Structure 1
Amino acid sequence: MRTSAAAGKDGPVARTPARTPHATTGPGGADGPPTARTSLPGDARAPSAARRFVRTVLAGWNAHAVVTDDATLLVSELVTNAVVHAGTSVDLECRLDPAPGGSLVVEVTDHHPARELRARPRQGCGDRDGPAHGGQGLRLVAELAETWGTAYRRTDKTVWFHLPTSPAAHSTGTLSEQALLRDLRVAEILAPGAGEPAARRTGERGSSHRALSFLAEASELLAGQFDEDMVASLATQLAVPRLADWCAVWLDADGAPGPIRPVPRLARVWHARESRIEPLRLALQRTPPVLPAAGHAVPWPHGPSGRCGQDGTHRPDAPDGTALACRLVAGGRGIGTLLLGRSAPATMADDVACLVEDFARRVALALASARQYTRQATISRILQRGLLPRGVAEIPGVEKAVVYEPRGGASAGGDFYDVFGAGHGRWCFALGDVCGSGPEAAVTTGFVRPWLRLLAKEGYGVADVLNRLNRLLCEEAAEAAESGTSPRFLSLLHGELVPHAQGIRCTLASAGHPLPLLLRPDGTVRPAAAPQTLLGVVEDVGYGSETFDLTPGDTLLCVTDGVTERKSGNRLFDDGDGLATALAGCTGLTAEDVAGRIRRAVHGFSRTPLDDDLALLVLRAT
């Protein structure tokens, strides 16, 4: 049962959200009010995605500009708090309440019910959240929303709020005046010393609003960066000169903790004066920060003067002024250290230290995301190298060229190729495509290619190799069915080349694969094999092969369906024998030139990126 605490501007109210968000959308009407829902990742991308989602939804609902701005601001802060303090994915729901007067209802749900959305107070900063609410976002909600509340359940926690949508609620003044009033209310909430006399607070409002805009901009720029050095570079350039005169970022080694901890790497140094960047780098390399695993900003180096080393001794080469160091922590794990310095004053104000901590949390989340992406990309590259041959064999009297482009660049794919010596004057080649994509297809590729090599080197002919591979894959499919996993089928083009006095004897077979094309020196093109069934589908099928001679000038083109089924609108590249037409124009070209021309034709067929792995093998008799 849901336990809900609700509040309004004049005291408690009994209004609670009607439902929990789901990742769907609905137009409303007879089935209910207009509703939009989405789920967001629990990382630095979430606030930016939440802002775009709210603006898109409210634009479609023709919401008032002030409502849109307020909702976007509140959602951005609540989602940021949920990601930073709850550390889970976030569900977001927007709907129009059909009650008299009308209002926009927004719910932000995280999946960590035991933790409140509170910003941890630090000594000397004061409690920015006030006595009644938790988290900077909740203070904004309490001020800007008509009503709001929180709901705790066993598996999640929701913060919800209502914003009036009726024209009468926003009829005072022009849109620019309304926006100014809203900004002043927000600045009033965020201004340091909010309990002090209004005259003293007036000069601080603008800086507080700029701080909020700065954090929103930082989240926007850091989100989606896949390189940790780029994150470090952006962080220093965001901080200088808005937060400090200079900034540096150290990155911890990304590895399992051990008895010997690697020295942090000084990834980026930035100074408002370009001529001082290199001297500052040298000074900081001699005195790296040593901090506990905490997220609070602390003075650095220790002591009242920025020209003291960490041992308290005078350092004439140390940076002038004062500095704050803050550990970059994400998911409870230290990632690095952020250091910001000013030439003056001798100490930094508490509100600056609090802002540095908020900024550091965003930098840490962006670094954690970048490292996760890098780890996954590295695994994919290593796996891909293991799936492909380290080299292709040299065949007497045959030029060869290979083009292999997995979809997505470095990711492991289901296409593979091989050219190898099989002994006794025989060379074999293969081009295959596992049905499906991703790691599952790569696993099948990983055991098919060694099987194929082993069978060919044991002396089995082309047709016998396909028959035995088919039986092995059918056995794998039966085991997959028993375990509840999906079977993997394989299309394969396999051939054998034997040089002799009159040319190259070629024996090949195609099992569910795009047919190889043979280009003669006179420009004629014909299929070089007959179509047969995919491997791993029918156990008792018998495969056959075809034999012909490659004479000097003959070119054999073998491709995967990433070539033939390349799309441009409703057309495919091989519609109307498009591949044969492209190959006919390659008469007299070398194997490398044929491969390059076909590749360019495939890429140029559509403006969109490749949506499948692309592999082609060209063999030309010389």
Structure 2
Amino acid sequence: MAAIPTQRESDTYARAAQGRATLPGSPMAPGSARSLVRSAFGEWTGRGLITPDAAARLRDDAMAVVSELVTNAVVHAGTDVEVAWRLEESGAFVVEVSDHHPARPPRDPAGGDGPCDVPEYGRGLRLVATFADSWGVTYRTGAKTVWARLPAGGRPEPVRPGTAHTLDAAEALAPQPQRPGVERDWLGRGALSFLAEASDLLAGQLDENLVTALTGQLIVPRLADWCAVWLEDEASARGGDGGGPARVWHASENRIEELHRALEKDPPRPRDGIRSGPEPYPWPGEALGPAGVRGSALAYRLVAGGRPLGTLVIGRCGPAGFPDEVTGLVEDLGRRVALAIGAARQYTRQVTISAVLQRGLLPGAVAEIPGMRSALVYEPCDSGGPSGDFYDLFPAGDGRWCFAIGDVQGKGPEAAVVIGLARPWLRLLAREGYRVADVLDRLNQLLLDDATEAADAAARALVAAGGRPVAPGDGPQTRFLSLLFGELTPFEGGVRCTLASAGHPLPLLLRPDGEVRTAACPQTLLGVVEDEAYVSETIELRPGDSLLCVTDGVTERRSGSSQFDDGDGLARALSGCAGLSAERIAGRIRRLVHDFGGGVPEDDLALLVLQAE
């Protein structure tokens, strides 16, 4: 193919405006490229380099072409891509997409090597050719550039306002009602851009209800006068009654309620097998008023991963029905809707499992201790998986209570495994009468033994599968745990506290006069050193004394290069809490930690205040 002309080769390519960006070779690259081009057209319009009408004529085609070129570059090469664009003085738009893959000679279909665009990803280049008056591939040293030139001209379309809100964005994208002639022209020129941007809009949603709401905004009124979405769970997908539609839209809002009632009485009945459609659907004429006596409706099964997730039904009034271009476009859109619903459901399942797991890893209630008040703050930073921080406060028998606050290396399932081991063993050993130091000794050995067994099991499984034996250090990592563990024994006039810290931020003791000191000595993390011998210390908490126990989400809270505990920051903050109740101390420390970083904490946060009364 011909090489793209340079400015020296043709004055036609004199650049009145230009831009360039490097994008990572990922599925997000086409969407990023479209955003850049959209912004460029807005800038050019604002600078008077192109009229709003001319920008509207070019913008949709430009974004579709950029999307196809970037998609082909990313899928073909799998590397970072460079996108360059410019607006010529003539009003034409030129875009070049270069990947960083080593250049290879172009294959000549006439030379007997076969066509070069057999893979599915090459199909889009033929779409580029239908938009561009010229396009080609230029091979340079170490790079390949695919370019296209869109001429000025075309049908004017109104500029769609940009908006940050998701539903507003969908409404702006779904555009104008159908009109003969105009619709066919849009289907030929703007449908690709519409489908690409709709895909981006749907792909970022993690709530299936929002996905269905976006679906209606995208389809009505551009593609249909009304539409509805039925959602299926596993039971209904196996043949149960799907019930009424989850969402119903109509171009006239006063028709939605009546249409919903009519559709509820006649849910779609998909044929055997999984087919995305379209299939005829009974026309609910009575619910659409005098103008809706005649019309046609089509049902599309929403399928993702081989599983039916629901049904999309679209309807259009009048005898003309749906053009083939619309039915094909809605089928493509339906596939993307199904993928978004499937992803949202998977996310919801993961969040639910994580929440159930998290509840099982933490105590159902915090014990009340005679002569003491306690206050707890617990804020996991990620709702999508179990936190690495945990706490406990429980009766140990014989007039004793025990408390623990710990932090596991990592998060998610690995953290859950360690917490699932540590909490029950802490309770069991404490209730069996073991001293604080002995509890840590045994828990340390338990973590080491468990990690060794896990590594041995992994090595055996690998050898059994024909892999090489695992060398020392190549297997599962040791499960580290930082822990502050203590025992509380109330006596007349106070509470005796015996405690030990294993690799954990040291507890701070606040006296009523504002004096603050550490209440334990630092020792090694649990699960690191074999046969480590831990020691404990005992202090007496008198009325008004407060003990503050935290995880490193407090001490290591960052603000730029500084941490909250730099220069004994936590001790100074606690000193200012003299005279406050346990609840108010916990609340003030939490607020100071949040304010220090100026944003949402990036680590789990847990703090426990124990105050003698």
Q: Which bin holds the TM-score, normalised by the shorter protein?
A: 0.7 to 0.9
Aligned to 1:270: 249
Q: Aligned equivalents of 1:355 and 1:325: distance in 2?
A: 13
1:43-71 Cα shifts (integer Å, max 9, x gaps) = xx6752564589999xxxxxx99999977
Q: CA RMSD in A?
A: 4.0
Candidates 188, 208, 212, aligned match of 1:232: 212
1:296 aligns with 2:296: no
How is 1:59-208 mapped onto 2 (pairs within 5 angstroms)? 72-74=63-65, 76-77=67-68, 91=78, 93-94=80-81, 104=96, 106=98, 116-117=119-120, 135=123, 138-141=126-129, 144=132, 146-147=135-136, 162-163=146-147, 178-180=151-153, 204-208=184-188
1:344-369 Cα shifts (integer Å, max 9, x gaps) = 34522222212221221221222122
1:559, distance to aligned residue in structure 2 (A): 0.2
Candidates 410, 413, 424, aligned match of 1:439: 413
Percent identity over the alignment? 55
1:603, distance to aligned residue in structure 2 (A): 0.7
Conservation of the 8 A alpha-carbon contact between 1:431 and 1:494: yes
Over 6 Å off, 4+ runs: 53-57, 64-71, 78-83, 200-203
Q: Aligned equivalents of 2:243 and 2:548: distance in 1?
A: 52
Aligned to 1:212: 192
1:147, distance to aligned residue in structure 2 (A): 3.1
TM-score, scaled relative to structure 2: 0.74
Distance 1:566 1:96, change over 3 A: closer
Distance 1:590 1:438, change over 3 A: same
User: What secondary structure does 2:517 align onto?
Assistant: strand
Distance 1:280 1:211, change over 3 A: same
1:150-207 Cα shifts (integer Å, max 9, x gaps) = xxxxxxxxxx97216xxxx89xxxxxxx4436999xxxxxxxxxxxxxxx98984345
Aligned to 2:495: 504
How is 1:36-75 mapped onto 2 (pairs within 5 angstroms)? 38-41=24-27, 47-49=30-32, 51-52=34-35, 72-74=63-65
Amino acid at match of 2:279: V
| Residues 227-236 or 364-373, more deviating | 364-373
Distance 1:426 1:492, change over 3 A: same
Conservation of the 8 A alpha-carbon contact between 1:393 and 1:421: yes
Q: Aligned equivalents of 2:196 and 2:531: distance in 1?
A: 63
Conservation of the 8 A alpha-carbon contact between 1:306 and 1:322: no
Aligned residues: 513
Aligned to 2:341: 367
Q: Aligned equivalents of 2:223 and 2:34: distance in 1?
A: 24
Q: Aligned equivalents of 1:179 and 1:500: distance in 2?
A: 89
1:516, distance to aligned residue in structure 2 (A): 0.6
How is 1:423-572 mapped onto 2 (pairs within 5 angstroms)? 423-482=397-456, 483=459, 484-572=475-563
Conservation of the 8 A alpha-carbon contact between 2:385 and 2:411: no
Aligned to 1:336: 310
Q: Aligned equivalents of 2:373 and 2:492: distance in 1?
A: 17
1:511, distance to aligned residue in structure 2 (A): 0.8
Candidates 239, 242, 245, aligned match of 2:225: 245
Candidates 376, 379, 390, aligned match of 1:402: 376
1:271, distance to aligned residue in structure 2 (A): 1.9
Q: Aligned equivalents of 1:295 and 1:504: distance in 2?
A: 69
Conservation of the 8 A alpha-carbon contact between 2:440 and 2:534: yes
Aligned to 1:615: 606
User: What secondary structure does 2:487 align onto?
Assistant: strand
How is 1:303-318 mapped onto 2 (pairs within 5 angstroms)? 306-307=284-285
1:434, distance to aligned residue in structure 2 (A): 1.0
Q: Aligned equivalents of 2:430 and 2:184: distance in 1?
A: 79
1:86-139 Cα shifts (integer Å, max 9, x gaps) = xx9993653599xxxx99455799xxx999539xxxxxxxxxxxxxxx856533
User: What secondary structure does 1:463 align onto?
Assistant: helix
User: What secondary structure does 1:352 align onto?
Assistant: helix
Q: Aligned equivalents of 1:368 and 1:8: distance in 2?
A: 44
1:393, distance to aligned residue in structure 2 (A): 1.2
Distance 1:96 1:286, change over 3 A: closer
Distance 1:534 1:435, change over 3 A: same
Distance 1:40 1:345, change over 3 A: farther
User: What secondary structure does 1:180 align onto?
Assistant: coil
User: What secondary structure does 2:594 align onto?
Assistant: helix
Conservation of the 8 A alpha-carbon contact between 1:432 and 1:490: yes
Distance 1:91 1:280, change over 3 A: farther
Q: Which runs of 5+ in 2 are unaligned?
A: 4-19, 41-48, 85-93, 102-115, 139-143, 158-179, 460-474
Conservation of the 8 A alpha-carbon contact between 1:306 and 1:320: no
Distance 1:331 1:56, change over 3 A: farther
User: What secondary structure does 1:491 align onto?
Assistant: strand
1:551, distance to aligned residue in structure 2 (A): 1.4
Distance 1:543 1:557, change over 3 A: same
Q: Which runs of 5+ in 1 are unaligned?
A: 1-6, 10-33, 58-63, 119-133, 150-159, 171-177, 185-199, 310-314
Q: Aligned equivalents of 2:145 and 2:222: distance in 1?
A: 33
TM-score, scaled relative to structure 1: 0.73
